[in-house]
Amino acid sequence: MLMKGKVVLVTGAGRGVGRAIALEAAKAGASVAVNDLGVGLSGDGAGADAGPAHAVVREIEDLGGRAIALTKSVASWDDAQEMVAETVERLGRIDAVVNNAGNLRDVIFHKMTPEDFHAVISVHLYGTFNMSRAAATYFKAQNSGAYVHMTSTSGLIGNFGQANYSAAKLGIVALSKSIALDMQKFGVRSNCIAPFAWTRMIDSIPITDIEQAKRVEKLKKLKAEKVAPCAVALLSDAAAGVSGQIFGVRNNEIFLFTHNRPFKTAHTSDGWTPETVAERVFPQFERAFYPLERSGDIFSWDPA
């Protein structure tokens, strides 16, 4: 019962990874605020359905737990403030936030519209900021709190047709580190997880060739429920010394990702010119350049 007496707010918790985390947190003793708009994957608000959030609340109650449904948008500053305030009012406090809500508008970059870019940034990056900032006031006052934010190897490594999603997910990593630095003196922790899981978001990716079809078959083996234990452990007091880190979870594998650090250097006593950079630095660094790899190129083995 690592989360006994705690209150956790999980966004995008009506399905997939968010639902799994909400249920795992409840099993660990937490009261859970279940946020989900119940909209389509594009996140444009069409077809909003409060059903998924309320269904997860019922599942938690059937387990003997306590939960409430929140069906407002993380992309709205005002909605985020209201959802955190409602959580505190109805559940008594707030101890942790899981920023999991997401959407997709995959399109090759030269065809991506401003609307495609803005829609994804608004939910993922602004949504993470809005919910985190809303909870920060409470966390500071009580001198404790924990965040877990969902990033992606699409941002950490790369992928085709996801410039908007990749930018948002890598931005979340930087945001998480900044939160960890700024709020450590208040006992607040912030970490990221890159989840590998077959969800309706992944199911929406079009299959265009045989290699992609093979990759999709591998992805179908990845269970959303496998991500939840790591997330709940990070939210608990057992992770008191863990902050500013990037984890990955793929079925029974847990990864710790590196942070960007310089690993090659070149210097000159005379100062650089464009010509000397081209003549000396590029050839010196060439063997250390990263290739244009995608997530699937790095995680090429079958999940454990």
141 within 8 A of 184, measured Cβ to Cβ: no
Long-range contacts of 262-270 (CB under 8 A, 24+ apart): 263/288, 264/288
Angle subtended by helix axes 77-91 and 127-142, to nearest 10: 40
223 contact partners, CB below 8 Å, separation of at least 6: 197, 198, 251
Reply yes or no on whether 165 is catalytic.
yes
Which SS3 state, helix, strand or coil, does residue 8 take?
strand
Q: Give the residue carrying structure tokens 């209150």.
A: 7
Which one is catalytic: 126, 147, 165, 290? 165
Cα–Cα distance for residue pair 175/259, rounded to 1 Å:
13
Place of tokens 């995008």: 12
Active site residues: 165
